[in-house]
Amino acid sequence: MKKIMISAALVCLAGFTYAQKPVAGDVTGDVELQFQTGTSAIHILSPNLNARYFLKDDMALRLSLSLNTSSTSQDYTENADGTGGTGTAESSSSGFGIGVGIQKHFAGTERLSPYVGAGISFNSGSSSEDWNNVGMDPFTGQMGYVSGTTVKVDGASTSTFGIGVNAGADYYFVNHIYLGIEVGLGFASTSIGEETTTVTATGVPTTTTVSQGGSSSGINVGANSGLRLGFVF
């Protein structure tokens, strides 16, 4: 039994000592670990997914995907003590992103694989709001219960095209399992669509307001806010 335990320990130690990095034909996949403070969880898994295919031992194609959705619902009552009529304000948003690129990896060490890369990306997003028996108080300018009032907001859709370069490193602490960090420099151009707000109230004509869209662009420098945890398949 003692010999078996010693053999198992040696196998584990070998895995740590000779952490194997990917070679031509391998595929890697990783997610981002976000580290947060305050009332949020210490860490969460980001919806950003990255996959790489190694054309050579030192060259890889990269595909990145992101998907996020969120929704909130807030209830309002007619009176401060919670009695009387009730109203609800709901909002939702969603976004999707895709990116492709190429990476050049350097020798590094047995465990460390530094790299540089370049790529392009496309992201889109949309949002909406739906208020029922909820409106804006003309005196306080705050949302509150208003009987017979509905508000529908078709939020402005956005689309962003980006191009950039990046540098990072993967550390293989166990055979085929790694942690990675990355920084980048990029240019992004964003188009913003129109936003339409329709308000219907009892005894008042329905009004529709359209906010014109626009565009923005700029160069940004940044680093991933967390570590990437990945596997070699």
* pLDDT score of 180: 93
pLDDT band at 37 (very low <50, low <70, confident <90, very high): low
Say if residue 3's pLDDT is above 80.
Answer: no
Q: Do the Cβ atoms of 121 and 161 come closer than 8 Å?
A: yes
C-alpha to C-alpha distance for 213 and 220, rounded to whole angstroms: 22
Say if residue 43's pLDDT is above 90.
Answer: no
Say if residue 10's pLDDT is above 50.
Answer: no
Any idea what the Cα angle at residue 178 is, between residues 67 and 7, rounded to 5°? 140
Say if residue 222's pLDDT is above 90.
Answer: no
Number of domains the chain is built from: 1
Question: How much is the average pLDDT of 217-223?
Answer: 82
* pLDDT score of 169: 95
Residue 14 phi/psi, 5° resolution? Answer: -65, -35
Please tell me which residue, 230 or 6, carries the higher pLDDT value.
Answer: 230
Structure tokens at 180: 């990675």
- Please write the tens of the pLDDT for every residue from 47-105: 678 999 999 999 999 999 998 889 999 999 988 887 888 999 999 999 999 999 999 99
Any idea what the Cα angle at residue 190 is, between residues 189 and 192, rounded to 5°? 155
Sign of CA dihedral 130, 71, 216, 51: negative
Q: What is the CATH number of the domain that holds 88?
A: 2.40.160.20
Residue 39 phi/psi, 5° resolution? Answer: -85, -10
* pLDDT score of 221: 80
* pLDDT score of 112: 94
Q: Do the Cβ atoms of 115 and 105 come closer than 8 Å?
A: yes
Q: Which residue is listed with tokens 């078996």?
A: 4
- Please write the tens of the pLDDT for every residue from 158-196: 999 999 999 999 999 998 999 999 999 999 999 999 999
Please tell me which residue, 20 or 157, carries the higher pLDDT value.
Answer: 157
Q: Which domain holds residue 155?
A: 2-232
User: What is the pTM assigned to this prediction?
Assistant: 0.77
Q: What percent of the chain has pLDDT over 70?
A: 84
Say if residue 34's pLDDT is above 80.
Answer: no
Say if residue 226's pLDDT is above 80.
Answer: no
Q: Which residue is listed with tokens 């909406």?
A: 128
**Residue environment code for 139-172, b if the CB has 16+ CB neighbours within 10 A, otherwise e:** eeeebbbbeebbbebbbbebebebebebebbbbb
What does the mean pLDDT of the chain come to?
85
Burial classification of residue 61, based on how many CB atoms lie within 10 Å of its CB (0-12 exposed, 13-18 middle, 19 or more buried) = middle
